[in-house]
Structure 1
Amino acid sequence: MRHDSSIVEFQRKRGGDSAAFFVPFLASDMILLDAGCGPGTITAALAGIVGTAVGVDIEPHAIVAADRLASTSGLTNLAFVEADMTALPFGDETFDAVFFHAVLYHQDGAALTRTLAEARRVLKPGGVIGTRDADVGGNILHPELDGVRLALDLWQRWYEHDDPEALLFGRRQSSLLRARGFTPIWSSAGYVNHSADATSRSEAVADARRSLLGLGPQLVSKGLATDGEIQAALAGWDAWGADPDAVYFRCRCECVARKD
């Protein structure tokens, strides 16, 4: 999975709502692992529910931000470790719960298998795994401007999905977990609303511009995009943000499974 500081910055706005579906399966005496924790906002929210919460991320920028959050949060049961989720630095059966938010979707088949094998290894018998990830087939966008569609495509190019079904990852989480030794016990879906009001639309445009400007030179240097495409994508988001009736609801599918 590729990482970039602009993506980490975008992830800062994730919060407790992203893990709300998992909360009913947690208890105050649990030790929880948030794999691919980014800047740690979800990990911190979960630390208020469980006994101990540990976040891991391979991106140093993310761990720096997460450590800063931990030092100012006042939480004493929160820790972050720079690590690869395909080779976790923890012993067998260490955690009662493992959580993945918006990370599995980006992995190819081999990396996904390694990641979930590691999650199963560090999870205690009877422990739970929660996953929440994207499914572009459920996204709702209006108006469907070419520039915004191009921007969404540019982000997909950045992750270089080899499997076209990766874009529909969210709806397949249950079957993917079952195939890797877990027993799914709950599933649902929700939306991230980027257009609740004028302020949220403005923030969505600012986030999109920051990401495109940060990734643009790297996309161009790797031959994944042209300067013209980057500019067209930026213009598309500007036009979308100027429409007072514009909407963008990003679909997230959710699944909870158990290690029997």
Structure 2
Amino acid sequence: MESAQSERLRRSSGRGCAMRHDGSIVEFQQKRGGDSAAFFVPFLTSDTILLDAGCGPGTITVALAGIVGSAVGVDIEPRAIAAASARAAEAGLTNLTFAEADMTALPFEDGSFDAVFFHAVLYHQSEAVLTRTLAEARRVLKPGGFLATRDADVGGNVLHPEIDGVRLALDLWQRWYEHDDPKALFFGRRQSSILRAHGFTPVWAGASYVNHSADAASRSEAVADARRSLLGLGPQLVGKGLAADDEIQAALAGWEAWGADPDAVYFRCRCECVARKD
């Protein structure tokens, strides 16, 4: 059931996830920054010129700016760039800039960067948009430069206890991201082969987890994040015919039950890859 609006939303996701940038997502991104790019740090130096494509609120860009020569973050969503610029100003960083830009048509000269980073961006894209995005990344990279990706793979998520309402909530979020291709949900494990197919040479691959259950405080935070997201996205899911009101309520109840269990765990898998432009 593909409407013209659905197609527009999917296309826009390839240009910086503009339609996904609601308040709950921003709040979540702002809580986790440096650890999301830790795998890329060994490939960076104090002379590196870095591009963070689809930078969102700039948390990761700010963290990386502290170890590279200079950094640029781009996103198509103006609110994201405003939040990122404010964060950079608060940090007092002078080697970091942010700009509103389409990652499929970057406003930079060929070979402008030593490194390009994509975090939680590529798996939202259609095949055509992904091809344009990676072609642009290759164009703006210097020969020998590195490209790093970190993206989701639902096959690696760890959840306990298996509460139906929580599983429903995870399914609702997948419906929102409009994955028409079932393989998109397992994008993370395929990053090396995808980058190789687009002219890069993978040099490192790994995985890590976002831990939503380290202690009682983090579980409480996870429930609060889930609640904000479901309440924010719920009316849109229902309005687009992707969910019913009772499903939203069941998902909310599921997270409350999960949060009440002192032994509950939820680890979200993130696969990582570093590749070189030869």
- Name the TM-score, length of structure 2 as normaliser: 0.92
The partner residue of 2:28 within 10, 18, 27 is: 10
RMSD: 0.9
In structure 2, the residue matched to 1:196 is: 214
In structure 1, the residue matched to 2:148 is: 130
Report 1:232-243 matches (<5 A). Answer: 232-243=250-261
In structure 2, the residue matched to 1:155 is: 173
Following superposition, the deviation at residue 77 of structure 1 comes to 0.4
Uncovered stretches (5+) of structure 1, i.e. residues with no partner: none
In structure 2, the residue matched to 1:228 is: 246
Uncovered stretches (5+) of structure 2, i.e. residues with no partner: 1-12, 14-18
User: 2:78 & 2:224 partners in 1: Cα distance?
Assistant: 24
Q: Name the % identity.
A: 83
Are 1:135 and 1:252, in contact at CA under 8 Å, matched by a contact in 2? yes
Aligned residues: 260
User: 1:81 & 1:235 partners in 2: Cα distance?
Assistant: 40
Following superposition, the deviation at residue 10 of structure 1 comes to 2.0
Are 1:177 and 1:183, in contact at CA under 8 Å, matched by a contact in 2? yes
Are 1:8 and 1:61, in contact at CA under 8 Å, matched by a contact in 2? no
In structure 2, the residue matched to 1:80 is: 98
The partner residue of 2:76 within 58, 70, 82 is: 58
SS of residue in 2 equivalent to 1:244: coil
Following superposition, the deviation at residue 7 of structure 1 comes to 1.8
The partner residue of 1:172 within 176, 190, 198 is: 190
- Name the TM-score, length of structure 1 as normaliser: 0.98
SS of residue in 1 equivalent to 2:262: coil
Are 1:193 and 1:248, in contact at CA under 8 Å, matched by a contact in 2? yes
Amino acid at match of 1:166: A
SS of residue in 2 equivalent to 1:37: coil
User: 1:102 & 1:72 partners in 2: Cα distance?
Assistant: 25
Amino acid at match of 2:21: D
SS of residue in 1 equivalent to 2:31: coil
User: 1:11 & 1:217 partners in 2: Cα distance?
Assistant: 22
**Deviations, residues 122-169 of structure 1 (Å, cap 9, x unaligned):** 111100001111111000000111111111111111111111011111
